[in-house]
Amino acid sequence: MARRQQLGEAQIAALYDPPTEQRELVRHDTLSGSDLVAVRRCRGDHNRLGTALMLCYLRHPGRALRAGERPPPALLDFVAAQL
């Protein structure tokens, strides 16, 4: 039986790419108090930022960072400002 693709490439990218607009960043990537407690347990600033980014990616768009993938600068700045 033939399979049809329901979504186009642009639609798939829109679903799985992290948000970059301020309103979406606030909605999806604001860290809770318990998130901050967990992140602060990490040693070193780079590990804290990486853990916080991983939490954000797992929530939305619901996947882990891929090897070599760089988060958008807007997301990096937003998460770093919370730490």
* Tens digit of each residue's pLDDT (9 = 90 or more) over 12-22: 888 888 888 99
Residue 7 lies in a domain: no
* Residue that the structure tokens 């998130």 belong to: 35
- What is the number of structural domains in the chain? 1
pTM of this prediction exceeds 0.85: no
Quote the CA–CA distance of 15 and 3 in Å, as a whole number. 21
Q: Indicate whether 40 belongs to any domain.
A: yes
Instruction: Give the dihedral sign, CA 61/62/67/71.
Output: positive
Kindly report, residue by residue over 29-42, the tens digit of the pLDDT.
999 999 999 999 99
How many other CB atoms are found less than 10 A from the CB of residue 36? 14
Question: Chain-wide mean pLDDT for the chain?
Answer: 92
What pLDDT, on a 0 to 100 scale, did the predictor assign at position 17? 85
